Amino acid sequence: MIRFALILIYIVLVLVPIGLPLLPVFWLIRLCSPKFCDRLTYPLVRFFANGVGFLAGMKLKTEYEEELPKGEAFLFVANHRSFFDEFAAFEALDRPFAFVSKAEYRKIPSMNSWMKLLHCVFVDRGNLRDGLRSVEEIETGIKNGYSFWIHPEGTRSQKDQMLPFHEGSFRPAFRTGTRIVPVTIVRTDDLFEKHEPKVRPARVTLHFGKPVATEGLDRVQQRALIAQIHAGIQSGYERLIASGQ
């Protein structure tokens, strides 16, 4: 329980006495120079996010099947295991990216504003109109050069078998011709979900697959690609678990 309490205290301290006073400064910078604001925001948020992983005792191993070129926007598609998935992503990626997050985060003061500065998109999956709006926001972000991180399962899987993917999660990539990077997340649930409310140290692996082309695919090919990515992440998860990673 000590780690859990420390993480809660840390998050509150970051969001309130530190985060709130800095927000007006960063929004002013964004009004004057959006690109300069982006260069400042991501490293700062990543630094504080890595503090959560440190307090949790997360030991991260990152694997890349192929080096990802700088300057290209990607849609990172990952399985969803834990509350700590996003913190592992921050530690693993040294390039700016935005999360596609559930609508509930939109209601958290300070956090919602920092997420907006990162170009995160909030999605209410139970609202069709909101879902369509979020797809358009992601498409606009991708066209402006921003990468996005999404969990197409929509919620955390508590079993070793992944949940089905929501096909709409892939629509921005198909519409913009953006390459998809499959990401396999392993053992983040060992940090918290398997014994909540306790937080325990764990070894976590993030495996980044080769970027997958999406341009010029018809509907049948798109669905086949979604199935292929789902199967690839699932098999990668099983392989990494079996190898002890």
Give the C-alpha separation, 238 to 26, whole Å.
Answer: 42
Both tokens of residue 243? 């190898």
- Residues contacting 59, CB < 8 A, separation 6+: 201, 202, 203, 204
Beta bridge partners of 64: 208
pLDDT of residue 243: 86
Give the C-alpha separation, 198 to 17, whole Å.
Answer: 26
Contact, 208 vs 221, CB < 8 A?
no
Both tokens of residue 31? 């009004």
Q: 42 is in which domain, residue-wise?
A: 2-242
- Residues contacting 215, CB < 8 A, separation 6+: 177
pLDDT of residue 189: 96
Task: Residue 145: give its domain's CATH number.
Answer: 3.40.1130.10
Count: domains in the chain: 1
pLDDT of residue 126: 72
For 47-89, write each residue's pLDDT tens digit: 999 999 999 999 999 999 999 999 999 999 999 999 999 999 9
For 183-206, write each residue's pLDDT tens digit: 999 999 999 999 999 999 999 999
Give the C-alpha separation, 175 to 138, whole Å.
Answer: 11
3 state SS of 61? strand
**Across the 245 residues of the chain, what is the mean pLDDT of every consecutive 10-residue run?**
94 96 97 95 96 97 95 97 96 94 89 95 79 88 96 90 94 97 97 94 98 96 98 97 82
